[in-house]
Amino acid sequence: MISLTRLNGKAIILNAILIESIEETPDTMITLTTGKKITVLEKAEVVVSLVRTYMQEIGSVRATIMSRDAEGS
């Protein structure tokens, strides 16, 4: 889970695994796999960095690399 800030200044805790896309329009809009869209104050590069850190913490990045190695890619 990552902590972000809505446009009204309220904190939101978001399940990073559900993020489908992130775009700046100029506000940062996050689209989830459920189709829900959330606009946050943080820039896209900050959100991406938080997601990367979260994925590393839960071992998702390592699991992906190990899976690719096992498949021979």
The percent of residues above 90 in pLDDT, for the chain, comes to 74
- Round to the nearest angstrom and report the end-to-end CA distance of the chain: 29
Indicate whether this model's pTM tops 0.75: yes
Of the pLDDT bands very low, low, confident and very high (cuts 50, 70, 90), residue 68 is: low
Bigger pLDDT: 65 or 8?
A: 8
Query: What whole-number distance in Å separates Cα of residue 69 and Cα of residue 52?
Result: 20
Bigger pLDDT: 60 or 29?
A: 29
Domain interval for residue 46 = 1-69
Query: What whole-number distance in Å separates Cα of residue 15 and Cα of residue 26?
Result: 23
Residue pLDDT, tens place only, 14-42: 999 999 999 999 999 999 999 999 999 99
Strands 11-14, 19-24: pairing is: unpaired
Find the helix or strand (DSSP H, E) in which 40 lies.
strand 37-40
| Number of folded domains that form the chain | 1
